[in-house]
Amino acid sequence: MGRVQDRVVIVTGGAGGIGAAASRAVAAEGGKLVVADLDAAAAANVAQEIVDAGGEATSIRVDVTDRAQVKAMIAAAIDSFGELNVIFNNAGMNRPRGFMDVDEENFDQIVRVNTWGAIVCTQEAARQMIAQGKGGKIVNTGSIASRQAFWDFVPYCVAKFGILALTQATARGLIEHGITVNAFAPGVVDTPMWIGLNEDIRAIHDQPIEADPMREFATGTLVGRAAAPEELTPFLVYLASPESDYMTGQMYMVDGGQVLV
């Protein structure tokens, strides 16, 4: 028996660095995966890898900010596997700007994907879990930017502090249905997200092309380096498994000791 045996798990942003690693790790523990992402081809590749390794997975294209697409994602989980037990609200993005250059479009895009997307997915997943009547688990992706704010990251920090609020509020509201809500908060993780972050930060600070500001930022953790996505997944498996049933409403730092709360 795996630690997530036969649980049906949706991972949004499942084609990305953390989401793909989480999908593989949960599948390896017996979970049945719906890999959901804006990038349909990359999501299909992750699902195929899982199936090739002997696991169970399907994939679907979704924009988490679009309710009709989120409903279709939930329906795909039911069509493929009969129920929904866990959703990992992991889809996210950032476009850093110095605070004085943040405009409405930059703010709206970041908050809409990171926070509104998690709200819509939580609502639609909870609707399904409540109808099933046997509880469920919602796992949100926060960040060190949920606990500390940075000048070049204001919309992202607002969005990720919002994930802390969403986690607390929905844990209070959904516990009567046996649904727990937790979040985990990575620090600097070596994923494709870094490529764009490095480009934006170099542009803000007029740094040369060789500069690697994200790697430099990671040296400020107690552990002294960035994480590989696979270093986060044991904790995500735990949050998806019955082992974490007594935990709800919390955000857990998995950040190499960057923010001490």
Ligand X SMILES: NC(=O)c1ccc[n+]([C@@H]2O[C@H](COP(=O)([O-])OP(=O)(O)OC[C@H]3O[C@@H](n4cnc5c(N)ncnc54)[C@H](O)[C@@H]3O)[C@@H](O)[C@H]2O)c1
Could you list the active site residues? 156
Neighbour count for residue 83 (Cβ, 10 Å): 16
Q: How far is the CB of 120 from ligand X (least distance, A)?
A: 10
What is the side-by-side strand order in the sheet with 32-37? 56-61, 32-37, 8-12, 86-89, 136-141, 179-186, 251-254
Is there binding between residue 117 and ligand X (CB under 6 A)?
yes
Neighbour count for residue 168 (Cβ, 10 Å): 16
Is there binding between residue 96 and ligand X (CB under 6 A)?
no
Contact 166, 140 (CB under 8 A): yes
Is there binding between residue 256 and ligand X (CB under 6 A)?
no
Distance CA 102, CA 83 (A): 42
Is there binding between residue 113 and ligand X (CB under 6 A)?
yes
Is there binding between residue 231 and ligand X (CB under 6 A)?
no
Q: How far is the CB of 250 from ligand X (least distance, A)?
A: 16
Is there binding between residue 64 and ligand X (CB under 6 A)?
yes
**Residue in this structure with the two tokens 């469920």, named with its chain if needed:** 136
Is there binding between residue 93 and ligand X (CB under 6 A)?
yes
Interface residue with ligand X, options 8, 62, 84, 129 (CB under 6 A): 62
- Interface contacts to ligand X, rule CB under 6 A: 12-13, 15-19, 37-39, 62-65, 90-93, 113, 117, 141, 143, 186, 188-189, 191-193
